[in-house]
Structure 1
Amino acid sequence: MSRAPNILFLLPDQLRHDFLGCYGADFLQTPAIDTLADQGTRYETAISPSPICVPARASMLTGQPAHETGILNNASWLRPDRHEMGIVTWPEHLARHGYQTAAIGKMHFYPWDIGEGFQHRVIAEDKRHIHVRDDYHHALAAEGFEKLHGHDMERYAETKGAALNPLPDHLHVDRWVANQAAAHIRSFNDDRPFAMMVGFPGPHCPYDPPHDALDHIDPSLLPPALKRTEESNKVLPELVAGYKQDWAGLDYSELSESQIRAIRHHYAASVERLDQDIAMLINTLRETNQLENTIVVFASDHGDYLGDFGLMGKGFFHEPSIRVPMIVTDFRCPTPKVENAPVSLIDIFPSILSWAGLPSLAQSRGSILGTAKSDRAIFGVTARGMMLRKGRWKLSRYYCGSEALFDLEADPGEQENLIDQRPDIRAQLDGLMSTSLLKGMVDGHSDKAVPEASSPPNGPFHDPYWQRPYPASINS
């Protein structure tokens, strides 16, 4: 029997799909990522149902949506008794079945240095976590440098996040991560397949490429930001309050056109550098004779507004925040394809298991990539609100009281809120949203189940001093 395939999961942070050539961007060059798309399956509509770093990553790791994991914001993490519930991560499961598992770069686990099933880790945490003493911290210190806050970089304040990073090229965090990943790929020296996740901390803010990277992008060609709307203005105060905290120290209550252009310029330059890193990793696989038995997955945890609707970052359910790239290239048999059916980040878990030749697990809620139907409904939730996206329609509700319904076919820029004009569609999506929410709440609280309460009369449940098992397994 032939060896199981290697799996290389490339996960940049906060990368929106339409800043890649293979998704239509003509204002920058991303040849390595475009080549992956040309040789594999490019998913046209890939959705991050919970578009915040930690909730998205917890869902990808476990195959469970955020309202089941309970991870609804960046200040939470998976429960420590998940093993007792029968919940495993995909690297944990693959490691049990003979894979070498490795995580290089940003994972956003708490504590930041735990393995969560990855047998080997080289850690470069979030660009905003400048006080974490990870492997990247020590690499910088060894050469007399340290992690920088955005305020320590040129232009950061005046352009509201578009900065110039003064570090030597090899110490820029994405490049450092790529070099560490390449070194680990070269270290494999036995017949076991590997499953490796490379978490690039960029192009997440601060948008901090080196100065010379900006010369490759003509800022006049960058697409303009989508206009503010009455609906987006309702969610703006919560975003503004978040960015005013010390981790960013920026006031996004107002954004000028020149500031948005600078942010997009720096972001695009960072994406081009990311593409160079991807090219280097693919070449490393080729040079080590491992490419032809490797499945490469390229995705992101969420998008970035980059000034669309007057917003920055992510966290709400507009398309720039939830739309991400998704490319799967199986180099055992490269076959170009574009898949239009909507897919979700939670689909990565069952897909990885399937590629590894392993059966599905009870905890998995996603679909194996390539099997989704065109009319699929995708439900998403964060601490800020929830969304139901189905076909041309999307319904969003937020904690602040805002509610929106968009016709994505007629109005892809989400400028006209139809919440009052289409009560029929609102009711239809509301029903699906309620069903999805309730099912997730039930499944997410399976630890509290007491199946023994339905035992026959001679069962131990009826005896004095019976002890309730806790937590109940997800398979109960």
Structure 2
Amino acid sequence: MTTRPNILFLLPDQLRHDFLGCYGAGFLRTPAIDALAAKGTRWETAISPSPICVPARASMLTGQHAHATGILHNMCWLRPDRHQMGIRTWPEILAASGYHTAAIGKMHFYPWDLSEGFQHRVIGEDKRHIHVRDDYHHALVSEGHAKLHGKEMPGYYETKGASTNPLPDHLQPDRWVAHRAADHLRSLKTDQPFAMMVGFPGPHCPYDPPAEDLSRVDPAVLPEALPRTGESETHLPALVAGYKRDWADLDYSSLTKAQIRAIRHHYAVSVERLDEDVALLVETLRETGKLDNTIIVFASDHGDYLGDFGLMGKGFFHEPSIRVPLIVADFRAPEARVETAPASLLDVFPSFLEWANLAPAPQSQGRSLNDPDAGRSFAGATSSGFMLRDARWKLVRYGNGVQALFDLESDPGEQENVIDAHPEVQARLDLALTQSLLEGFAAGHADKMVPDAKSPPDGAFHDRCWQRPYPAMA
């Protein structure tokens, strides 16, 4: 038995917290994920500060805010000279300390086959990366199949993305990833500790479970979507334009109640299937004798509106977009606990290092999950705007000119913008947001530092032809 724990990081894509039984969803069944919560700590409030796929993943890998990494949307990735600045990913740090590191499934790196410190990769970048010739692509081709665009699936246009996937069960994206992860767990024969990330492609759109599974969930009992607001309506043009592009080819300028119900139905069914995939991995750990020395972390990169506020997907700072599940089950000492102090996705980076008995990394801007703080506030940034959220209040400022303040205590559904009624709260949150942005920008531009400008009189900086080191170390 190793003295350092194994770490299994399970990351579904676009999973909102309130579609899990342990978070109060009584309309579907998630016994495996609920069992993780019953063995460990479930965070009541976990925040994705930059609720877009690539920014969230870059932040989790490096422990840095998006306004430090510079990754504010899905069309960019970490700078290739980050090592020269002293920036390492958590798999790089753990691998250097003796861990076996592995990534199975969707990671959303550019290039898509980049290692980023993972010594072993099995790649399945579906569901929207249908042209990527990854391991999942070759598995499909070997059995006479191919990746499908949502529009090639039954029901896609009629229900605005709620389709059914005709592939065999073992080739459904999440199921294929789960089986490849289980295969790799079985292949680990030594006592070397492992740190393994499993990136499930679902329940991200298209919302495409197999047709035969739709009877799992009764659509009539699903929660209704939150109403549109004047603030949310201002984001609709940008969202509509994005989804009209070829990757989705959908028009979300309008959504009927029936379409929203269908989307939520297919999403809920996909979550139930995901729960079975989680059960497979837990059982594989048990069968191989690894479970008792493993910490399982279950989270997501961001949520999904599913019609709330008349919106779909993610990207803005409403609760359905930024709230994610966060469960940590340490099977070395199982204990059920609900943590009411909030957490951020940035917190997984320092926590992984701490669990591996490693020193903190100076780059980290998160907080260990073992050190909760009920008074924390969270700054967030995307290419759309900025957010500052604390336990009660949320301030948002967007590039389209919209600014809003929400009292989450009296208005958890964010239906009323009260920014004019609470100038003192706005000022306090504005100051905290400004401080966080300045810290992030300073870290993100540390490569441009010229510390030699302060060198003593005999320093080479003062001579002709002095060469400026670049990039400077952070």
Partner of 2:355: 355
With 463-472 and 409-418 compared, the bigger mean Cα shift is at 463-472
Q: Distance in 1 between matches of 2:126 and 2:388?
A: 29
Match of 1:293 in 2: 293
Does structure 2 retain, via aligned residues, the 8 Å contact 1:108–1:126?
A: no
Q: 2:142 & 2:2 partners in 1: Cα distance?
A: 43
Paired AA for residue 415 in structure 1: Q
- Paired residues, number: 474
State the partner residue of 1:383: 383
**2:53 aligned partner, one-letter code:** C
Residue 416 in structure 1 maps to residue 421 in structure 2: no
Shift of 1:421: 1.6
Amino acid of the structure 2 residue aligned with 1:15: L
- Which residue in 1 is equivalent to 2:113? 113
1:173 aligns with 2:173: yes
Alpha-carbon separation, structure 2, partners of 1:426 and 1:364: 27
Which residue number in structure 2 is paired with residue 64 of structure 1?
A: 64
Percent identity (aligned)? 70
Q: Does 1:132 align with 2:116?
A: no
Q: Contact 1:447–1:473 (CA<8 Å) still a contact in 2?
A: yes
Q: SS at 1:207's partner residue? A: coil
TM-aligned CA deviation for residue 17 of structure 1: 0.2
Deviation at 1:436, TM superposition (A): 1.0
Match of 1:309 in 2: 309
1:193 aligned partner: 193
* Matched position secondary structure for 1:165: coil
The separation in 1 between residues aligned to 2:181 and 2:362, in whole angstroms, is 32
Determine the C-alpha separation between the residues in 1 that align with 2:108 and 2:465.
Answer: 43
Uncovered stretches (5+) of structure 2, i.e. residues with no partner: none
Distance in structure 2 (CA, Å) of the matches to 1:352 and 1:311: 34
In structure 1, distance between residues paired with 2:394 and 2:375: 13
- Give the Cα separation in 2 of the matches to 1:356 and 1:214: 42
CA contact (8 A) 1:128 1:149 kept: yes
Q: Aligned to 1:298, what secondary structure does the other structure show?
A: strand
Q: Distance in 2 between matches of 1:366 and 1:460?
A: 38
Please give the secondary structure, in 2, of the residue aligned with 1:324: coil
> Which residue matches 2:270?
270
* CA-CA distance at 1:144 after TM superposition: 0.3
Offset at 1:346? 0.5
> Corresponding residue for 2:454?
454
**3-state SS, counterpart of residue 469 of structure 1:** coil
- What is the one-letter code of the residue matched to 1:173? P
- 1:69-468 matches, within 5 Å, as 69-468=69-468
SS, match of residue 83 in structure 2 = coil
Contact 1:105–1:201 under 8 Å retained in 2: yes
Structure 1 residue 209, shift from structure 2 partner? 0.2
Q: Is the 8 A contact 1:235 1:402 kept in 2?
A: no
Q: Could you tell me how far apart the structure 2 residues matched to 1:126 and 1:355 are?
A: 31
1:438 Cα offset (Å): 1.2
Report which stretch shifted further, 189-198 or 265-274.
189-198
More divergent stretch after superposition (418-427 vs 255-264): 418-427
Q: Residues of 2 paired with 1:2 and 1:141: CA distance?
A: 40
CA RMSD across the alignment: 0.8
Three-state SS of the structure 2 residue aligned to 1:84 is: helix
Task: Give TM-score, length-normalised by structure 1.
Answer: 0.99
Amino acid at match of 2:101: T
The amino acid across from 1:37 in the alignment is A
CA distance in 2, matches of 1:351, 1:293: 16
Q: Deviation digits for residues 51-70 of structure 1, max 9, x if unmatched?
A: 00000000000000001100
Deviation at 1:77, TM superposition (A): 0.1
Matches within 5 A, 1:28-43: 28-43=28-43
1:268 CA drift (Å)? 0.1
- Residues 322-354 of structure 1: per-residue CA shift (max 9 Å, x gap): 000000010011111111111100101000000
Deviation of the 1:454 alpha carbon: 1.3
In 1: Cα distance, 2:459 partner to 2:65 partner? 35
Once residues 2 and 316 of structure 2 are traced to their aligned partners in structure 1, the CA distance between those partners, rounded to angstroms, is 45
1:4 aligns with 2:4: yes
Asked whether the 8 Å contact 2:107–2:199 carries over to 1, the reply is yes
Quick check: 1:379–1:436 contact (8 Å CA) kept in 2? yes
Deviations 1:115-147 (A, max 9, x none): 000000000003111000000000000000000
The question of whether the paired residues in 1 share the 8 Å contact of 2:388 and 2:433 is answered with: yes
CA-to-aligned-CA distance 1:6-47 (integer Å, 9 cap, x gap): 000000000000000000000000000000001100011000
Q: Residue 327 of structure 1 aligns to a residue in which SS?
A: strand
Q: Distance in 2 between matches of 1:305 and 1:230?
A: 16
Matched AA of 1:329:
A
Counterpart AA for 1:447: D
TM-score, structure 2 normalization: 0.99
Deviation at 1:192, TM superposition (A): 0.7
CA distance in structure 2 between the aligned counterparts of 1:104 and 1:2, rounded to whole angstroms:
23
The answer (yes or no) to whether the contact 2:2–2:192 under 8 Å persists in 1 is no
Is residue 2–residue 193 contact of structure 2 (8 Å, CA) maintained in 1? no
Match of 1:472 in 2: 472
The answer to whether the 8 A contact 1:339-1:370 is kept is: no
Q: Describe the superposition over 1:165-215 as per-residue Cα deviations: whole angstroms up to 9, x where unpaired.
A: 000000000000000000000000112100000000000000000012211
Is 1:45–2:63 an aligned residue pair?
no
Instruction: Give the counterpart letter for 2:294 in structure 1.
Output: T
**CA drift at 1:242:** 0.2
In the TM superposition, residue 464 of structure 1 has moved relative to its aligned partner by 2.0
C-alpha deviation, 1:2, in angstroms: 4.9
- What is the CA distance between 1:459 and its match in structure 2? 1.8
Q: CA deviation at 1:370?
A: 3.0
Instruction: Kindly provide the amino acid, as one letter, of the partner of residue 225 in structure 1.
Output: A
Deviation above 3 Å: which 4+ runs of structure 1?
Answer: none
> Aligned partners of 1:2, 1:129: CA distance in 2, in Å?
38
Q: Which moved more, 1:14-23 or 1:436-445?
A: 436-445
Looking at structure 2, the residues matched to 126 and 325 of structure 1 have their Cα atoms a distance apart, in angstroms, of 22
Q: SS of 1:117's equivalent?
A: coil
Q: Which moved more, 1:310-319 or 1:414-423?
A: 414-423
Post-superposition shift, 1:99?
Answer: 0.5
Matched letter for residue 311 of structure 2: L
User: 1:108 and 1:159 mapped to 2: Cα distance?
Assistant: 27
In structure 1, give the amino acid aligned to 2:206: P
Q: What SS does the corresponding residue of 2:73 show, helix, strand or coil?
A: coil
1:333-379 residue CA offsets vs partner (Å, 9 max, x unmatched): 11111111111001010000000010101110000013131110100
